[in-house]
Amino acid sequence: MSTIKDVAKYTGLSISTISKYLNGGNVLKENRILIDEAVEKLGYKVNHLARSLKTNKTKTVGILIPSLSSAFFSHIIAVIEETLIQNGYDSVICGFNFDPKLEIRKLRFLLDKNVDGIILIPERLSADDLNSVLKVSGKQIPLILLDRYVNDFECDTVLADNINASYSAVESLITKGHKRIGIIVGPPEISTAYERTIGYKRVYQDYSLPAEEQLIKVGDYSLESGYQLFNELLDTEDPPSAVFVTNYDMMLGAITAANERGIKIPSDISFIGYDNIELSLIINPPINIVVQPMDLMGESAAKILLKRMKGDYSSYPLMLRHKSRLLFEK
């Protein structure tokens, strides 16, 4: 079995330089290439158990998300993993399928795995829940909230600017003459849904128009709820002339319902969806869509966590909000 001394002999580098790189430290690019080549050719294996016992670090990060099947979450995870790998960290990814009991259980699981830090996209967890789980675990590790915040829980948080994104989308419809705009949002106890509803209502207030509660439909972020709620909007006595769907999966459901009804977007009804540029390009003509800064959000969360895991708590707690943008506006 190859040892770190064999890697040093192959590369001509010092053991301290090789050890620094294998433990996530920064070394010169040419040295990284040499070490990676030697590790692969010699079949050198890092003894993670010995390293963790010696340093109390596992070089792993826990990522906990509501659903493993969501395109939005999957994209963000890919960005996070790329950033972590570049810095010598592996990840343990868990989904809780929108189940609040499983959400707590999976968080405990990650803490029991002795990960060095956690990135969490919360669903139903309260500040009391988080404080209780962390207290029971006895672990003091950095935790980053991504996409959603938790009221009264102090930690670093990376978000999209949901209020302004929703405001801009609805305002673009109002300026085109639409007054009765339906919106399909997620549960109000989830911060993203709450903020997108605020943006919707604020536009109506600023334009001195009445916001009709019957045009605000609350779903559960599933394709099925988007399908059902779009049909409910269209089946009202006075249907809206435009619909804004604030989540990708619910957008798929709404488009499916429109197709079944023979409704053409945007000639029969104006429509703004969320999050998937590729889908909007496939549909002809392309639909208006709010695109969240997924790459920036994932990269920011990973970089902040890396900083905290190194013991740098300057400007703590951070709250970063990245701007979304409206594409294909007509």
Angle between the N-to-C axes of helices 162-174 and 191-206, in degrees from 0 to 180, rounded to the nearest 10: 40
| Residue 13: how many other CB atoms lie within 10 Å | 19
pLDDT tens readout for residues 287-313: 899 999 999 999 999 999 999 999 999
CA distances 154 to 23, 45, 87, 238, 260, Å, are: 29, 39, 26, 45, 46
Query: Going by C-beta distance under 8 Å and a sequence separation of 6 or more, which residues neighbour residue 102?
Result: 96
Quickly list H helices, the chain. 4-11, 15-22, 29-42, 48-55, 71-86, 100-112, 127-137, 162-174, 191-206, 223-234, 248-261, 277-282, 294-309
Report the Cα 166 to chain-centroid distance in Å: 17
Closest CA to 270 of 171, 142, 150: 171
Rounded to the nearest integer, the mean pLDDT of the chain is: 89
pLDDT of residue 36: 86
pLDDT tens readout for residues 243-260: 999 998 999 999 999 999
Specify the pTM.
0.80
pLDDT reading at 48 higher than 60:
no
DSSP letters spanning 111-125: HHTT-SEEEE--SS-
Report the Cα 209 to chain-centroid distance in Å: 33
3-class SS at 15?
helix
3-class SS at 183?
strand
CA–CA gap between residue 206 and residue 210 (Å, rounded): 10
pLDDT of residue 25: 67
| Residue 214: how many other CB atoms lie within 10 Å | 13
Average pLDDT over residues 197-208: 97
CA–CA gap between residue 227 and residue 231 (Å, rounded): 6
Amino acid at 174: I
pLDDT tens readout for residues 131-153: 999 888 787 899 999 999 999 99
CA distances 297 to 130, 149, 158, 301, 305, Å, are: 22, 13, 6, 6, 12
Please state, for a pLDDT cut of 90, what percent of the chain lies above it. Answer: 65
pLDDT reading at 17 higher than 50:
yes
Do residues 113 and 62 lie in contact, with contact meaning Cβ atoms separated by under 8 Å? yes
Query: Going by C-beta distance under 8 Å and a sequence separation of 6 or more, which residues neighbour residue 243?
Result: 181, 182, 183, 184, 230, 233, 254, 269, 270, 271, 272
| Residue 132: how many other CB atoms lie within 10 Å | 12
pLDDT of residue 23: 67
Q: In 253-266, which positions are buried (b, 16+ CB within 10 angstroms) versus exposed (e)?
A: bbbebbeeeeeebb
CA–CA gap between residue 330 and residue 184 (Å, rounded): 21
Do residues 63 and 95 lie in contact, with contact meaning Cβ atoms separated by under 8 Å? no
Do residues 73 and 121 lie in contact, with contact meaning Cβ atoms separated by under 8 Å? yes
pLDDT of residue 53: 44
CA–CA gap between residue 118 and residue 99 (Å, rounded): 19
pLDDT reading at 49 higher than 50:
no
Query: Going by C-beta distance under 8 Å and a sequence separation of 6 or more, which residues neighbour residue 165?
Result: 196, 199, 290, 292, 323, 324, 325, 326
